[in-house]
Amino acid sequence: MPSRALFASYRRLFAAPGAAAFTLAGLLGRLALSMNGVSLVVLLAERRGSYALAGTVSATGLVTGAIGMPLLGRLVDRYGQARVAVPAALYNAAPLAALLLCVRLGAPDWTLYACWAACAAAPNLGGMARARWAYLYRADPAARHLANSLEQALDELCFMAGPVLAMALCTAVTPEAGLLAAGTLGTTGALLFAAQRRTEPPLPARSARDRHGSPLRVPGLRVLLLTFLATGMVFGSTEITTVAYADTLGHKAAAGGLLALVAAGSCAAGLLFGLLTPRRSPGLRFLCGTAAMAGVLLLPLAAGLGGAGLGLLGVVLFAAGTATAPTMVTGMTLVQELLPQRQFNEGMAVAVSGIVVGISGGAALAGAVAEHTAPGTGYLLPAAAAVLALLIALAGRRSLAPARRAPAENAERAVSTSV
């Protein structure tokens, strides 16, 4: 019965014509994104025999992606989703193919860095999907909350299935198979997504003073960026620490399952969170989410320092995952509340870039801690990062209250709703 109610609640989102089509197309693109990291590491470790090279090439891509994503988001806001996503997806296939060719031909290492860095123009289909939901249900806050919860659950689903699929292809077929599949899925998903024109948000009217404005001028987005940076550190440090901890117990292969439990907890919490009727302001809900995340992440720390086995660790990691989804869902809702429609895509890309940079930094710190401390000590990092996220949110809580729309902005939204 609960599952039937859950299905019925989310099914109403797809009453909007074209909603199912763009959701499924976007899902392909996000699945490809979640396959890239594992596929690259396995490929370079197998063909070049160096995990160090694989790690630094991967980090280069994360940095350039964090820079390129907001720039691409600005282009989307200015020219529209289809006009940017199609050339970006086709372009992105070129450096990916070049990377595979360089690996096959034994080209110098610098070519790998150059090719992977050039792959930074991948369209942010998750952000564009959220922008479509925000447009479709612009007059229904409850539906937007439900849609943001669905999107977060789909993100978690992809990051559970993507690495498993990538590893299976790389080991059972050929080391190149993971990136080949990811590239094919990513390009296909982006092209199919762009083809769904009837759900694409119309371009709002722009004035000359808005032409070069950055969403980071909004204080609330700066607070969210820093909070998401700390949240990304939670993700990155949890991943590396869990792999290292499982390895010390002699069960390194179980690390994938443990990390899947974190994502499963977040996915389940995201879906259930969407069913709750928002009664408090998004800013207050965001504070509650970061506080819950800081509290729940003490559980893996206690389990790790106490020398818990894999079973107990799996339970607490699932519990830890349940606090991240509500925080992310409310954070994306705040991005939509704080920014005008003409900056939705760039604003969401900025938020995602903060998470990406945080993941990279958290993983690097956790790797150093794992090498020089006792097993389980690394869980101090996600716990500390969650506390940092809470402190940032508390310090900037006044900025998280959306300002009242100016008359020009109200007119802009009125124009977009009439299209």
Single out the residue of 141, 133, 119, 150 nearest to residue 57, CA to CA: 119
One fold for 18-147+158-200 and 213-419: yes
Which residue type occupies 246?
A: A
pLDDT of residue 9: 74
pLDDT of residue 43: 87
pLDDT of residue 225: 93
Largest CA distance in the chain: 63
CATH top-level class for 213-419?
mainly alpha
pLDDT of residue 416: 39
CB 269 within 8 A of CB 325: yes
pLDDT of residue 1: 44
Structure tokens at 3: 């599952």
C-alpha torsion 146→151→153→154, nearest 10: 140
User: Distance (Å, rounded) from C-alpha 179 to C-alpha 244?
Assistant: 25
What is the value of pTM for the model shown? Answer: 0.82
Which run of H or of E encompasses 301?
Answer: helix 298-305
Q: Is 355 helix (H, G, I), strand (E, B) or coil?
A: helix
CB 144 within 8 A of CB 137: yes
CB 243 within 8 A of CB 363: no
Instruction: List Cβ neighbours of 146 (8 Å cut-off, separation of 6 or more).
Output: 9, 10, 12, 13, 274, 275
pLDDT of residue 209: 55
Q: Name the residue ranges covered by the structural domains of the chain.
A: 18-147+158-200, 213-419
CB 389 within 8 A of CB 293: yes
Structure tokens at 36: 């890239």
DSSP secondary structure letters along 106-130: T--HHHHHHHHHGGGG---HHHHHH
CATH top-level class for 18-147+158-200?
mainly alpha
Q: DSSP state, 206?
A: -
pLDDT of residue 229: 94
Q: What is the mean pLDDT of each run of 10 residues along the chain (419 residues)?
A: 64 86 90 84 83 79 85 89 91 92 91 89 85 87 86 83 82 89 92 91 69 78 93 87 84 78 86 80 89 93 88 92 88 86 84 86 82 85 95 90 52 38
Total residues found in the chain within this entry: 419
Residue spans of alpha helices (H) in 49-176: 51-79, 81-105, 109-117, 125-136, 141-172
